[in-house]
């Protein structure tokens, strides 16, 4: 088998890259080790930046997003028993965010790929990448009982944080930068209309909480827990009790509903440099992770593959490798901005078990500052909606 671009992983990064290449007339094959059902059921974050929406629209995969996505113009920060609105659109010349689950983005991309007839293999086993330094890198895998070798011009490693592509790069090439946090998020999806129109990020002595949504019928809610929290310790009643305590306000009621799904996610910041080796290019979670507080993970992944697709179009079109060679540098500018923003939002809003009362007062001062100074609020807002060029 032979293709132009071999793509490992059918998450948002791999599927979006495949779509962008298809639109540009470049062939690709996508190899995913999980089943289609599994990939389409995974619940992930749900905030799309304007730039992400624009890209999916241009790629022709945003019809349902425009029908069902909810456009938001602000978020709320809660601390000291008060809620403060950050008017994102007013502060950023009209930019908005769209609430639409990553799961839904993935379903739309898979549907478009299958409809086009272009190759996308689920349940590909023992995927491995070879000859990365040569002009004919290849991907070996097993599918439907048969062994296959796919020869490529380049390989895109879009296989997430636990994938094999990053691991295949020889020792000594990559440098990793990381930060672990002593807490995680317990998230639920509840069949109840969201109790607030906009997202509420709450700082509370008992720990952070977030009120989010997936639609006008479904709420998505999170509470800060230990990083290795056992979900069995959290019956639904306990989760609601904690949500009421942390999000509660005089005169406002948090509506409860059946819990459809719940899970704990650890939080970490992680970046590898460079994001390329020979003819392998890493994109999305394969190269970097952010804690979810800034809602940047999906948006960063989409930016990486946009950069990669543009560089590949230039290379196939003109033979120039300039943009491909600059892939790491171009991506890392945005990656590090998002790393900083996500770390900053996380540190401002969570209770660190090792922190003292000095730290608590610094957090509260920072929160008061970003909700009272237009300069500080604008800085938060432009990062949240996504910076244009960097």
Q: Kindly give, in sequence order, each residue whose CB lies less than 8 Å from that of residue 90, ignoring residues fewer than 6 positions away.
A: 73, 74
Q: Is 100 a catalytic residue?
A: no
Asked whether position 212 contacts ligand PHB by CB under 6 A, the answer is yes
**292 contributes a contact to ligand PHB by CB under 6 A:** yes
Phi, psi of 229 (to 5 degrees): -60, 140
Distance between CA atoms of residues 342 and 92, nearest Å: 19
Beta partners for residue 180, in sequence order: 268
For the question of residue 72 being annotated catalytic, the response is yes
Asked if 51 interacts with ligand APR (CB under 6 A), we say: no
Q: Catalytic pick from 12, 292, 303, 350?
A: 292
CB of 186 to ligand PHB, least distance (A): 12
Q: Does 285 bind ligand APR (CB under 6 A)?
A: yes
The 3-state DSSP composition of the chain as helix, strand, coil percent (nearest 5) reads: 40, 25, 35
Closest CA to 247 of 216, 228, 224: 224
Residue closer to ligand PHB, measured from CB, 9 or 101: 101
Residue closer to ligand APR by CB (options 101, 207) is 101
385 counts as binding ligand PHB under rule CB under 6 A: no
Nearest alpha carbon to residue 48 among 290, 299, 331: 299
- Residue 112 binds: one of ligand APR, ligand PHB, none (C-beta under 5 to 8 A by kind): none
CA–CA gap between residue 305 and residue 282 (Å, rounded):
9
Q: Which residue is nearest to ligand PHB (CB)?
A: 212
- Closer CB to ligand PHB, 293 or 328, in the complex: 293
Angle at 150 between CA 140 and CA 306, to 5 degrees: 105
Residue 269 as a binder of ligand PHB (CB under 6 A): the answer is no
DSSP 189: E
220 vs 65, 95, 186, 295, 304, CA distance in Å?
A: 18, 23, 11, 13, 27
**Which of 204, 220, 288, 351 touches ligand PHB by CB under 6 A?**
220
**Catalytic residue from among 183, 201, 277, 327:** 201
d(CA 245, CA 64) in angstroms, rounded, equals 36
Q: Is 107 a catalytic residue?
A: no
**One residue of 29, 112, 158, 239 binding ligand APR per CB under 6 A:** 158
Residue owning tokens 């070996």:
140
* Nearest to ligand APR of 59, 247 (CB atom): 59
From residue 2 to residue 41, the character string flagging contacts with ligand APR as x (rule: CB under 6 A) and all else as - is ------xxxxxxx----------------xxxx----x--
**Cα–Cα dist 286/270, whole Å:** 10
**12-23 helix and 102-116 helix, angle to the nearest 10 degrees:** 40
> Is 47 a residue that touches ligand PHB (CB under 6 A)?
yes
């689950």: which residue's tokens? 101
The answer to whether 212 and 197 are in contact (CB under 8 A) is no
The minimum distance between CB 5 and ligand PHB, in angstroms, equals 30
Output 34 or 130, the one with its CB closest to ligand APR. 34
Residue 281 catalytic? Answer: no
Encoded one letter per residue, x for contact with ligand APR by CB under 6 A and - for no contact, window 296-335 reads -xx--x----------------------------------
List of residues 6+ apart from 39 with CB closer than 8 A? 10, 11, 32, 106, 110, 122
Cβ proximity to ligand APR: between 254 and 289 the closer is: 289
Q: Which residues contact ligand APR (rule: CB under 6 A)?
A: 8-14, 31-34, 39, 44-45, 102, 124, 127, 158-160, 163-164, 284-286, 297-298, 301
Which sequence positions are flagged as catalytic?
72, 201, 292, 296, 384
């Amino acid at each position: 088998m032979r293709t132009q671009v071999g793509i490992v992983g059918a998450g948002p990064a791999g599927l979006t890259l495949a779509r962008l290449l298809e639109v540009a007339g470049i062939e690709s094959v996508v190899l995913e080790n999980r089943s289609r059902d599994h990939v389409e059921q995974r619940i992930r974050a749900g905030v799309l930046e304007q730039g992400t929406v624009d890209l999916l629209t241009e790629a022709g995969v945003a019809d349902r997003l425009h029908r069902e996505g909810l456009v938001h113009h602000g978020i709320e920060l809660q601390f000291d028993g008060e809620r403060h609105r950050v008017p994102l659109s007013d502060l950023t010349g009209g930019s908005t965010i769209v609430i639409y689950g990553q799961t839904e983005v993935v379903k739309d991309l898979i549907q478009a790929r299958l409809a086009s007839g272009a190759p996308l293999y689920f349940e590909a086993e023992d995927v491995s990448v070879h000859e990365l330094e040569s002009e004919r890198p290849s991907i070996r895998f097993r599918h439907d009982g048969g062994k296959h070798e796919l020869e490529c011009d380049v390989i895109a490693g879009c296989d997430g944080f636990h994938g094999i592509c990053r691991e295949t790069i020889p020792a000594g090439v990559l440098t990793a930068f990381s930060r672990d946090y002593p807490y995680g998020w317990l998230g639920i999806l509840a069949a109840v209309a969201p109790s607030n129109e906009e997202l509420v990020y709450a700082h509370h002595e008992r720990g952070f909480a977030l009120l989010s949504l997936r639609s006008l019928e479904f709420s998505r809610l999170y509470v800060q827990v230990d990083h290795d929290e056992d979900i069995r310790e959290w019956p639904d009643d306990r989760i609601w009790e904690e949500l009421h305590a942390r999000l509660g306000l005089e005169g406002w009621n948090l509506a409860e509903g059946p819990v459809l799904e719940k899970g704990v996610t650890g939080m970490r910041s992680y970046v590898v440099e460079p994001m390329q080796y020979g003819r392998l290019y890493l994109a999305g979670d394969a190269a970097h992770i952010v804690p979810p507080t800034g809602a940047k993970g999906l948006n960063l992944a989409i930016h990486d593959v946009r950069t990669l697709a543009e560089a590949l179009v230039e290379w196939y079109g003109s033979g120039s490798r300039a943009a491909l060679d600059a892939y790491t540098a171009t991506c890392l500018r945005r990656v590090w901005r998002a790393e900083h923003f996500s770390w900053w939002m996380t540190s401002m809003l969570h209770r660190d078990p090792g922190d003292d009362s000095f730290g608590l007062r610094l957090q509260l001062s920072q929160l008061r500052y970003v909700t009272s100074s237009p300069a500080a609020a604008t800085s938060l807002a432009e990062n949240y909606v996504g910076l244009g060029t960097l």
